[in-house]
């Protein structure tokens, strides 16, 4: 994706810079650190989304 962004001059997923207006990315630090923070946040959210299934499976529910 980053290679495509460089070749096309675009900024998909804000990999080169933040959007011009105020966003939640402002709370995650400057570029490139906010990219790592978003990845960490995504991992935590995926784990939280899977937690009910993991607990249900552990208790023997199908």
What is the DSSP code string of 8-37?
HT--GGGSSS--SS--GGGGG-STTHHHHH
Query: What are the distances in angstroms from CA 29 to CA 12, 16, 52?
Result: 18, 14, 31
Find where tokens 């249900």 sit: 56
Query: What pLDDT, on the 0 to 100 scale, is given for residue 40?
Result: 96
Mean pLDDT of 9-17: 87
d(CA 12, CA 23) in angstroms, rounded, equals 15
Is a pLDDT exceeding 70 seen at residue 62? no
Task: Compute the mean pLDDT over every residue in the chain, rounded to the nearest whole number.
Answer: 89
Query: What pLDDT, on the 0 to 100 scale, is given for residue 30?
Result: 93
What digits encode the pLDDT tens for the residues 28-38?
A: 999 889 999 99
The range of the structural domain enclosing residue 28 comes to 2-58
| Overall domain count for the chain | 1
d(CA 31, CA 14) in angstroms, rounded, equals 9
Query: What pLDDT, on the 0 to 100 scale, is given for residue 3?
Result: 85
Share of the chain above pLDDT 70, in %: 97
């Amino acid at each position: 994706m980053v290679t495509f962004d460089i070749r096309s001059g675009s900024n998909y997923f804000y990999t080169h810079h933040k959007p011009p207006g105020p966003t939640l990315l402002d709370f995650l630090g400057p570029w490139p650190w906010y990219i790592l923070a978003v990845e960490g946040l995504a991992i935590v959210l995926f784990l939280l989304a899977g937690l009910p299934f993991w607990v249900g499976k552990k208790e023997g529910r199908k």
